[in-house]
Amino acid sequence: MDAFAPVPPEWTKKAIHAYEFCCPTCRASSRDAENVWLNRRSPVMTDNYRRKWQEFYQCRCGCVWWAWSSDRPPSKFSSEQQST
C-alpha cells in the first residue's frame, strides 16, 4: 500500500472523521494503523496560508477514520526549542 498513491484506496470510502488524532473506536494511535493514505491531491488552505490535508487510517479494530494533518500532535523528534 502506497500512502501517497494518487487514487484513494477502496477502504477509505467508509472513513469517519476523528476529532481527536486517534481511532474514535478504540483510541489507538495513528502509528498503530494497518493502512494509511494521505489525500495530498486536495489540500485545504488555512487562514494563515498553510496547507492541510486529510490523512486516512485503517485501524486494527476495523474502524476507518480520517483527521486533518494540522490536528496531528507534535512529534517528540521535532521541537521548536532545541537544546544546545
pTM of the predicted model as reported, rounded to 2 decimal places: 0.82
What pLDDT does residue 43 have? 79
In sequence order, what E strands does 1-84 have?
16-17, 35-45, 51-58, 64-68
What pLDDT does residue 80 have? 56
Contact (Cβ atoms closer than 8 angstroms) between residue 28 and residue 60: yes
The pLDDT tens digits for 27-82 are 999 999 999 999 988 779 988 988 999 999 999 999 999 999 999 988 887 665 54
What pLDDT does residue 81 have? 52
Q: Looking at this protein, which amino acid is placed at residue 48?
A: N
- Closest C-alpha to 36, from 46, 26, 51, 21: 21
Contact (Cβ atoms closer than 8 angstroms) between residue 6 and residue 41: yes
